[in-house]
Amino acid sequence: MDTAQSKYSFEEAKKYIPGGVNSPVRAFSNIGAYPLFIDHAKGSKIYDIDGNEYIDYVGSWGPMLLGHAHPKVVDAVISAAYEGTSFGAPSLKETELAKKICSMVHCVDKVRMVNSGTEATMSAIRLARGYTGRNTIVKFEGCYHGHCDSLLIKTGSGALTHGVVSSAGVPDAFAKHTIVLPYNDIYALNEVFSKMGEEISCVIVEPVAGNMGVVLPQDGFLQKIRELTLNYGSIFIVDEVMTGFRLSPSGAIGALNLSADIVTFGKVIGGGLPVGAYGGRCDIMDFVSPSGPVYQAGTLSGNPIAMAAGIAMLSELDSNPSIYGQLEEKSAKLEKGLKKAALRSNIDVCINRMGSMLSVFFTKEKVIDFKTACTSDTNRFKKYFLAMLDQGIYLAPSQFEAIFVSNAHTDEDIDKTINAAEKAMSSL
């Protein structure tokens, strides 16, 4: 497959953009290659600048639940653009999208729009600290909640040890307020709260982890977080930036029968445009300025074009709940086919899936947390990724990311992907 134009364009981009990309994983450095530069996309397909077609399972890292360039989303964006691209003032579209989110997620009474998932989680944590008057936060190893300073923290040396910074430019002082625990570890949760519960402002978690690959919550894990946060007066933040409105019409909250104090959103609610949001109970959300003392602002928050895209996306999902059944059927077929492909080639894999999110880990271990995810053979993944790409299957260029199935994927797409996987697995 000829990708010479992408290679040239990457070298040119590196002269003007750090690393040649505007988000690190796009650089393909994890798999020892150079990135493809995309020209356009439609439905389940993307097309690079060399004219090659790929079946896309990245979907802009999740939001393209209905496929690329869905007609209703595109029409909404075009119509809104003709009315003006930005006001920096309230518009009816902001209220309409906020009302739609509140109607679809039972534990969200009010919503504040922002511009990204990172901004949503950062703001949610500030709100939790302001509401509780406490500083300490608890997060889980392998869960990514954006690149704000308080969350770029990796695990310390034990359950009661505060984390250490994982990025240059983050002061050590930030780490002392963050405790990092193993995902799915109820014992560690109990231990931390028994010793430090009165100091903990919030616990933030991906209800289904997608940033160490897809890792499902074990029975009782999320419920234990809810129980402990209620008992100690801490805030339970469910980060649905990736899972929101993807796993059900009310996201993981609905799919897993959860209740949270604050929920963060992104990805899907922008229909592919840069949008995020955080919402929750009235008494908590009313702590946000100008109603309350927790300051957060943004000129482009509630941008009319982004709001129009979000309204079109959520309206389509809300009015057609059968979409989720179709997604389940397609994703289950893909999972079954990938397992058979690995079995035929005698390749050890663990495939985790919930709804239309799944990951193939090249390990014989059951992947339940970051430690077990790291047992995956990343060299084998690199070979698999490149073999799939060469056959026109576009996966995330990292072992520790999700495959996203969209409603635009056809049976033919799934069959072609399974056939490609059989050839890729046999080459390993």
More confident residue, 164 or 426: 426
> What is the number of other CB atoms lying within 10 angstroms of the CB of residue 17?
11
Q: Which residue has the higher pLDDT, 26 or 102?
A: 102
Which tokens is 419 given? 């056939």
Give pLDDT tens digits for 302-337.
999 999 999 999 999 999 999 999 999 999 999 999
Residue 159 has pLDDT above 50, yes or no: no
Candidates 56, 239, 369, 377; catalytic one: 239
Domains and CATH numbers, the chain: 4-69+322-426 (3.90.1150.10), 71-319 (3.40.640.10)
- 248 half-sphere exposure, CB direction, 13 A CA radius: 15
Strand ranges across the sheet with 38-42: 38-42, 45-48, 53-56, 393-394
* pLDDT-derived band at 160, boundaries 50, 70, 90: very low
Residue 383 pLDDT grade (very low, low, confident, very high; cuts 50, 70, 90): very high
**pLDDT class of 146 with cuts at 50, 70, 90:** confident
Residues 6+ apart with CB under 8 A from 96: 307, 311
User: Distance of alpha carbon 347 from its chain centroid, rounded?
Assistant: 28
pLDDT digits (tens, 9 = 90+) for 167-208: 787 777 777 789 999 999 999 999 999 999 999 999 999 999
On the question of pLDDT at 402 being above 50, the answer is: yes
Structural tokens at position 2: 């000829």
Active-site option among 93, 139, 267, 330: 267
Instruction: Tell me: pLDDT of 155 over 80.
Output: no
pLDDT at position 148 over 80: no
pLDDT in tens, 200-250: 999 999 999 999 999 999 999 999 999 999 999 999 999 999 999 999 999
Known catalytic membership, residue 324: no
pLDDT of residue 157: 41
pLDDT confidence of residue 336: 98
Least confident of 100-109, 149-158, 245-254: 149-158
Q: How many residues in total does the chain contain? A: 428
Distance CA 342, CA 338 (A): 6
pLDDT class of 163 with cuts at 50, 70, 90: low
Give 361 or 163, the one with higher predicted confidence: 361
Choose among 43, 65, 366: nearest CA to 243. 65
267 noted as active-site residue: yes
**What pLDDT, in 10s, does the model give residues 44-92?**
999 999 999 999 999 999 999 999 999 999 999 999 999 999 999 999 9
Active-site annotation holder among 131, 144, 324, 384 = 144
What confidence tier does 164 reach under pLDDT thresholds 50, 70, 90?
low
CA distance 286 to 294: 9
CA distance 159 to 190: 10
Angle (deg, nearest 10), helices 304-319 and 92-104: 30
Q: What percent of the chain has pLDDT over 90?
A: 88
Q: CB atoms < 10 A from the CB of 57, how many? A: 22
Distance, CA of 197 to CA of 205 (rounded, Å) = 17
With pLDDT > 70 as the criterion, what percentage of the chain qualifies? 96
The pLDDT value recorded for residue 158 is 46
The alpha-carbon radius of gyration of the chain (Å, integer) is 21
402-427 b/e (C-beta count within 10 Å ≥ 16 → b): bbbbbbbbeeebbeebbebbbebbee
Which tens digits make up the pLDDT trace of 7-37? 999 999 999 999 999 988 899 988 889 999 9
Average pLDDT, the chain: 94
* C-alpha dist (Å) from residue 331 to 16, 44, 235, 326: 39, 14, 33, 9
Say if residues 295 and 112 touch (Cβ distance below 8 Å).
no
